[in-house]
Amino acid sequence: MISSRLCIVSLMLLLTSQVVSAEVHTTNTVTANAVWSGNMTVYGLCCIVFAMITAFVLLDLRKTKRKMQYNRMIDEETGIGNLVHFTHQFNMISDLSCGMYYIAYIIIDSNYLQIYHGESTFTDSVKYTAGVLSSYANHNEIAARITENGFAFAFRSVNADAAKQQAEEIIDKLTLYIEAEEKSFKPVFHAALYNLNAADRSCELLLFNLRKNCSKLIGTDRQLVLCDANMMNSAAREKQLLESIENGFKNREFKLYLQFIVDNKTKKIVSAEALSRWDSADKGLLSPAKYIETMESNGMITVLDYYMFEMTCRQLHKWKDTEFDNLTISCNFTRITLSEDDFAEKIKDISNKYVFDKSKLVIEITEDAIEKNRENAMENVRECKKMGFRIALDDLGSGYTSLINLCEYPIDIVKIDRDILLKTDRQNGRDLFVGMIALAHSLNLKVVCEGVETEEQKTLVSATECDLIQGWYYSKAFPAREGEAFVRQYSEKLIG
């Protein structure tokens, strides 16, 4: 572009110099009439030169604009279209022909490939996928890379069976690439297939729905799912829920609730667990069961974890030098958040905005949080311990049990899962329950028994060496201010 413009400028200067030279020569050698005639000739030549320059510049600008538009629609790594390209082409599909189109959304299990086979294998599989889709794309069909590990392929087919057959053929061809490398026989390519209809005019919503349905296949042996209207609508509802959640954070609709914990010997309230509730403007008060899974599957759970941690810090700051100053609060963290590289740094930055005794805040992590990403979790737990926080291992006894974690990590408290308590109706269940308490005490760990709800459970746990008791028998979950009133009433009743 620059060289062509330089050429134009050089041509302009050359022609101008020749015109000026001719004018001077004419003025010195001819009559006044001839001079006037020569000047008109010069003027005409200047107009021609100006018109030529203008035409060249406009042509150059048009080419530059087309090139920029083309580059904006191309994925640099693979050379095929990107999301902008797919959206542009999708919007050009007419209502009359849309029923002939099928959209296949293909996802590569990037986490598995990167963790177990390296970044290069994932990068190669991305390029290979792009090449396969390009080879299948005919005229008026669209192949594009939508996300880092997601592709969309809009193709024509005579019916659903033929479309399914072509999608299966593509998946088989992609799978052969990995198997040929002899690095994995685990399915790493998954696809969701959907027949387009006239009502599907939002490309963004369509791709979101397909991606959500396809994501559910990751980690399973299923490689292809045929999406019907109900499945697509379900994903659409999830998208709406996500938008509501985002607005909920902006409007601070997520609230801190506290479930109080009592000392087994004195039955005094000594602690509380921080729980989230969503006081939605349009849905009312929602329990975590209504939104946690959606947050986890869409990468928003870390937002909630840090949000609730700050709410906990703020509450302890508020309680400092008050009648509640002796209470501790435990705050949950999911395995996703705990495994983040900058987890400890974020915890430090948030907590330093408030003044409170950090030993009053217990970072509560689930057992799978430690096992899932051992190196990151270990380092983060140790850093939090150095800051002065106490560490609790939640749900001990649920799922698989890695007792070695009790030795390797700086844990202060273990919480025995409610499922263990429910097994105490049999002798071997009671023996297990008592044995877990004894094991924890032998490691100088405090023990919390969760899920105590009945008089029978309360009597059984009270008769053991368990240190702390948590459950609806003693306390439901309260909003923070109501919780303070509950503590006062409970203490007065206990003294009375």
The C-alpha atoms of residue 438 and residue 60 are separated, in whole angstroms, by 82
- Is residue 396's pLDDT more than 90? no
Q: Are residues 253 and 105 in the same domain?
A: no
Do 23 and 44 meet the contact criterion of CB atoms below 8 Å apart?
Answer: no
pLDDT value of residue 315: 98
- Is residue 16's pLDDT more than 90? no
- The residue written with tokens 């924890």 in the block is 440
Q: Are residues 134 and 255 in the same domain?
A: no
Q: Are residues 154 and 255 in the same domain?
A: no
* Cβ within 8 Å of residue 262, ≥6 positions away: 268, 269, 270, 468, 469, 470, 474, 475
Residue finishing a domain among 50, 72, 94: 72
Q: Mean pLDDT over residues 461-474, rounded?
A: 96
Q: Residue 441 belongs to a domain with what CATH number?
A: 3.20.20.450
Q: Residue 199 belongs to a domain with what CATH number?
A: 3.30.70.270
What H or E segment, with its residue span, contains residue 245?
helix 229-250
Q: Are residues 395 and 485 in the same domain?
A: yes
CA dist list (Å): 382 to 122, 211, 274, 346, 494: 32, 37, 22, 14, 38
Does a structural domain hold residue 55? Answer: yes
Does a structural domain hold residue 239? Answer: no
- The residue written with tokens 């994501």 in the block is 215
Does a structural domain hold residue 414? Answer: yes
The C-alpha atoms of residue 470 and residue 262 are separated, in whole angstroms, by 7
- Is residue 228's pLDDT more than 50? yes
pLDDT value of residue 30: 46
- Is residue 175's pLDDT more than 60? yes
Does a structural domain hold residue 236? Answer: no
Do 186 and 239 meet the contact criterion of CB atoms below 8 Å apart?
Answer: no
Q: Are residues 36 and 94 in the same domain?
A: no
- Is residue 290's pLDDT more than 70? yes
More confident residue, 116 or 121: 121
Q: Mean pLDDT over residues 421-433, rounded?
A: 92
Q: Are residues 443 and 404 in the same domain?
A: yes
- Is residue 19's pLDDT more than 50? no
Q: Are residues 380 and 419 in the same domain?
A: yes
Does a structural domain hold residue 242? Answer: no
pLDDT value of residue 69: 54
- Predicted confidence (pLDDT) per residue in 319-343, tens digit: 999 999 999 999 999 888 888 889 9
- Is residue 65's pLDDT more than 80? no
pLDDT value of residue 227: 94
Do 349 and 336 meet the contact criterion of CB atoms below 8 Å apart?
Answer: no
Q: Are residues 208 and 266 in the same domain?
A: no
Does a structural domain hold residue 234? Answer: no
Q: Which range among 58-67, 197-206, 240-249 shows the weakest confidence by mean pLDDT?
A: 58-67
- Is residue 18's pLDDT more than 80? no
Residue finishing a domain among 25, 51, 72: 72
- 298 phi/psi in degrees, rounded to 5: -120, 15
Residue finishing a domain among 72, 98, 121: 72
Under the banding of pLDDT at 50, 70 and 90, the label for residue 13 is very low
More confident residue, 40 or 393: 393
Under the banding of pLDDT at 50, 70 and 90, the label for residue 26 is very low
Q: Mean pLDDT over residues 59-65, rounded?
A: 60
Model pTM? 0.69
Number of domains in the chain: 3
- Predicted confidence (pLDDT) per residue in 331-374, tens digit: 999 888 888 889 999 999 999 999 999 999 999 987 655 555 67
Q: Are residues 207 and 277 in the same domain?
A: no
Under the banding of pLDDT at 50, 70 and 90, the label for residue 2 is very low
Q: Which of 19-28, 360-369, 450-459 has the highest mean predicted lDDT (pLDDT)?
A: 450-459
What H or E segment, with its residue span, contains residue 238?
helix 229-250
- Is residue 24's pLDDT more than 90? no
pLDDT value of residue 97: 86
Q: Are residues 321 and 451 in the same domain?
A: yes
Does a structural domain hold residue 243? Answer: no
Q: Are residues 203 and 319 in the same domain?
A: no
Does a structural domain hold residue 18? Answer: yes
Domain span including residue 319: 249-495
The C-alpha atoms of residue 426 and residue 447 are separated, in whole angstroms, by 21
Q: Which range among 219-223, 253-257, 285-289, 385-389 shows the weakest confidence by mean pLDDT?
A: 219-223
The C-alpha atoms of residue 169 and residue 172 are separated, in whole angstroms, by 5
DSSP state at residue 423: G
Structure tokens at 81: 């279209």
Q: Are residues 65 and 102 in the same domain?
A: no
